[in-house]
Every structure is written in C-alpha cells, then in structure tokens.
A = this chain, B = another copy of it.
Amino acid sequence: MSDARSRPVTGHVPVLRLGDVLLVTLQGDLHDSTAQQLQQDLAETISRTGVRGVLIDISGVEIVDSFLGRVLAEIAAQAKLLAARTVVAGMRPAVAITLVELGLTLPGLSTALSTEAGMELLSQQAPVPRPGGPRQESA
C-alpha cells in the first residue's frame, strides 16, 4: 500500500570498523531479512574484533515503526552480552515523536544527536557499566 514500504533496502547493511567502534548507517527502510543479517553480522564482528562500541546512525531513517524499535533494542542487548555499548545517533525529531507515540522509549539504548557526539560518548565511557560502580578517578 504505502510507497515507503515498497522500497526496502535489501541485502547487506555494511558494518564499518573505526578504531574501537563499529559504525552502521541505516538508510530508508529496513527489511526483515536485512535486519536479521545485520544483527548476525554485528554479533560476529564484535566477537571477532573485540570492539567496545556500536554506533548506529539513523539520520537517514525517516519512517520508524515498532519493528525498527525492536531491532535497535535487540542489537543493543546482544552487544551488551558481548561487552560492547550501543549508541543510536542522529535521530530525527519526528522519529523521536513517533517512537514515544508507539510507546517505544528504547530504555536500554544511549542516544546522541550526531555521529560525532556518539563517537565521543563511546570513547568516554567504559564498555558496560557495572551497577553501583562509580567512576574511579585516580590522580
């Protein structure tokens, strides 16, 4: 029906490595099989490379639905199990509004306004913070 739905990005979503971070740029619609492939690629790449962070840029995503929300949450959860943090960067204001309207507040996810801010966030923080463990600063 919807024109937007008829143009899924099929095939691989590239996973780029930049130092200690994997960068994924989502564009347009995410197809079921593409999302599954991306989750698998990310898990394998985190495990193989031992990176500490995953940055998902969604500035190219204009339409969001519960499926995308679920995929992002699952990526973050699996990355956490592999000792990596996930930051979602570049969310459009309209997407944020839609997500909240859908009841998806992405509780397990950190966000940043830009890719650059996301990279900074990932470089500053420890991979997976332990609850109740304040940052120790030894001078």
Contact = CB atoms under 8 A, between A and B. Distances in A.
Nearest to A59: B14
Given A7-B7, A18-B18, A27-B27, A12 B115 contact: no
Please classify the interface of chain A as helix (H, G, I), strand (E, B), loop, or mixed, using the class held by over half of its residues: mixed
A58 to B, nearest CB: 9
B10 A10 contact: no
Interface size class of A (residues with CB under 8 A): 20 to 34
> How many copies of this chain?
2
Contacts of A116: 16-19
Interface in A3-17: 7-14, 16-17
Nearest to A58: B14
B14 A90 contact: yes
A17 B90 CA distance: 11
A18 B115 contact: yes
Nearest to A17: B116
A57 to B, nearest CB: 6
Contacts of A87: none
Given A7-B10, A10-B7, A28-B10, A16 B57 contact: yes
Interface of A: 7-14, 16-19, 23, 25, 27-28, 57, 59-60, 62, 90, 114-116, 119
